[in-house]
Structure 1
Amino acid sequence: MFVAKSHNPPLAALLIFAASALIAATTLLAKALGTETLGPALHPMQISHGRFLFAFIAIISAVGVLRPHLARPHWGLHVGRTSFGWLGITLMFASVAYIPITDATAISFLNPVFAMVLAIPLLKEGVGPWRWLAAAVALAGALILLRPTPASFQPAALLALTAAAIIGMELIFIKKLSGREIPIQILLVNNSMGLVIASVAVIAVWEPPTQAQWAALAGIGVLMACAQACFVNGMARADASFVAPISYATLIFAAFYDFAIFGVIPDAVSVTGSSIILTGALILVWREARSRRA
């Protein structure tokens, strides 16, 4: 969890690439738990609870080893960030049980677009024509993935779309927190509060997991904690405009996992919609890089 400040783009790329593989793996395990692959399907709120439980164990262990200097948390921002984060990840876990992981992952890439739109009223940020173009392109790709025809419409895709919007709101809180507290403290407080929320929410839907499901739940939590650590350290070693496109490798890993484990082959609609969303996201990255240089 220690964040070095040395500029090292090759190592940053490797860390972000690893984070992408780990994040895609969490969606794979969530799909296995939300279907009957490892036993009776678990409720998304129980999957989300396992994610926070085991991520908290991993992060508190890292804090015990590293012993970082922790400051007083800004509780209001943490409550907002954690509430939106818990709801967003729960809806995302619900969606992957019904639609291909590739589609859900591609739709999740809309969260920076939603964050950009929300930043206008909440952070008083200006949005120029290039940003609006990126948002329009990405949303067009999402519309394709929704397959809005009576014969092919996937209601579960709306869960992923809603999750992306909610996680976009979470990014607003993260942006406010990032200048106030160190990354490991943000992760520790977030996972502590998330565990409390998830523990209360799961009471009504709790079912005893099988041994394989316990292992998968632990895997989701540990993989998510490791992914967060890789991402935070990667961002600390290179410019955001350099590492952001690498994070889109998550889509490649998601497609590979879905094919290797569940035999799902992305159809033409999935490939088209995902490509358009990535195009919109890359336009946004390119514009942000130019703005920084200017």
Structure 2
Amino acid sequence: MSDVPFAPVRPDNTLAALCIAGATAFIALSTLFAKTLTTDALGSALSPFQVSHGRFVFALVFFVAGCAVIRPRFTRPHWGLHLARTGCGWGGVTLMFAAVAFIPMADATALSFTSPVFTLIFAVVLLGERVGRVRWAAVAVALTGAAVLLRPTPESFQPAALLALGAAVAMGTENIWIKKLTRREGRLQILLVNNVLGVLIASAALLAAGWQSPTLAQWGALAGVGLSMATAQSFYINGMARADASFVAPFIYGTLVFAALFDAVIFGAVPDWVSWLGASIIVAGALLLAWREGRKRPVGLRPARGVVK
């Protein structure tokens, strides 16, 4: 299969920053909707399997409508890569939705920021990439922050935090398959196929786990999960198309601020000093990794990317 020629996109750091900031707000909003569904805030709690099913169904509606308007050119999908990517993505969001039912959104979000660390580790194992001392140092820093957030003492250990860490592992693996797919296919096609397969995988899991009839408010929240995540993906793709990853990386961590704000306002969950310490260490490690990645790529060699307008 030949590569798809992407139209050049004019760099615009200001617009890129605004897009990524918008993406972080909608990511946090989708997590907030998920927390209302996996707790008894809107009725009897739904299972994480049902919430992730709603996430893919309503996101698929969003992208199908987008394709009907934009009419992008499609190529033959690489089904093996798509299945690997979607399986990891479904596992990641399901674990994340399960985690936020038991621990503060800020803690779960911070732990999810270790996903670039696992992407690096799996890049070594699956892609044969070579990793230098700075990147391994970034891994060590981020994992130290994760250990702080896990509160590894008999009195304060949070077993549910392992769900968020598992989500980070799944999402870190997903990034490997996304990296391979973006070399072959257009980004809107990747998002569309991802959500089609996601609906199929989530439906099979939901059949096994059991369906619970949602209340009217829960139907609205399920739509909110899917549509806010789809909006976040669109903002994110547009931001990444207009600036280098090393520039946009600091803005991505705005998700933590929005998650803490939403959790405090809606659920009254204010992060303690341990949460902020662990989150700060994780973000420091992730930013060190982003800085190193930016230094690796010579200026002017950033490939042109497609963009969802």
Relative to the length of structure 2, the TM-score reads 0.93
* Distance in 1 of aligned mates of 2:174 and 2:145: 22
In structure 1, the residue matched to 2:203 is 199
In structure 2, the residue matched to 1:38 is 42
* Distance in 2 of aligned mates of 1:123 and 1:31: 35
Are 1:259 and 2:256 an aligned pair? Answer: no
Are 1:220 and 2:235 an aligned pair? Answer: no
* Distance in 2 of aligned mates of 1:233 and 1:284: 22
Are 1:150 and 2:154 an aligned pair? Answer: yes
Per-residue Cα deviation, 1:171-227 (whole angstroms, up to 9, x for no partner): 100000011111100000000000011111112321000000000000010011110
What are the equivalent positions in structure 2 for 1:67-82 lying under 5 Å apart? Answer: 67-82=71-86
Per-residue Cα deviation, 1:33-62 (whole angstroms, up to 9, x for no partner): 010000000000000000000000010010
Deviation at 1:3, TM superposition (A): 8.2
In structure 2, the residue matched to 1:232 is 237
What are the equivalent positions in structure 2 for 1:1-294 lying under 5 Å apart? Answer: 5-203=9-207, 204-293=209-298
Larger proportion of helix: 1
Per-residue Cα deviation, 1:103-142 (whole angstroms, up to 9, x for no partner): 0000000001000011002111110000000000000000
Conservation of the 8 A alpha-carbon contact between 1:8 and 1:238: yes
Deviation at 1:244, TM superposition (A): 1.4
SS of the residue corresponding to residue 155 of structure 1 reads coil
* Distance in 2 of aligned mates of 1:106 and 1:199: 29
* Distance in 1 of aligned mates of 2:255 and 2:214: 28
* Distance in 2 of aligned mates of 1:173 and 1:288: 18
Taking a change above 3 Å as real, the CA distance of residues 251 and 4 of structure 1, as seen in their structure-2 partners, is farther
Q: Percent identity?
A: 59
User: 1:23 corresponds to which letter in structure 2?
Assistant: I
Conservation of the 8 A alpha-carbon contact between 1:3 and 1:233: no
SS of the residue corresponding to residue 5 of structure 1 reads coil
User: 1:163 corresponds to which letter in structure 2?
Assistant: A
* Distance in 2 of aligned mates of 1:3 and 1:198: 34
Give runs of ≥4 in structure 1 deviating > 3 Å: none
SS of the residue corresponding to residue 185 of structure 2 reads coil
Q: CA RMSD in A?
A: 1.2
Deviation at 1:288, TM superposition (A): 1.3
User: 1:159 corresponds to which letter in structure 2?
Assistant: L
* Distance in 1 of aligned mates of 2:288 and 2:237: 23
Conservation of the 8 A alpha-carbon contact between 1:13 and 1:246: yes
Relative to the length of structure 1, the TM-score reads 0.98
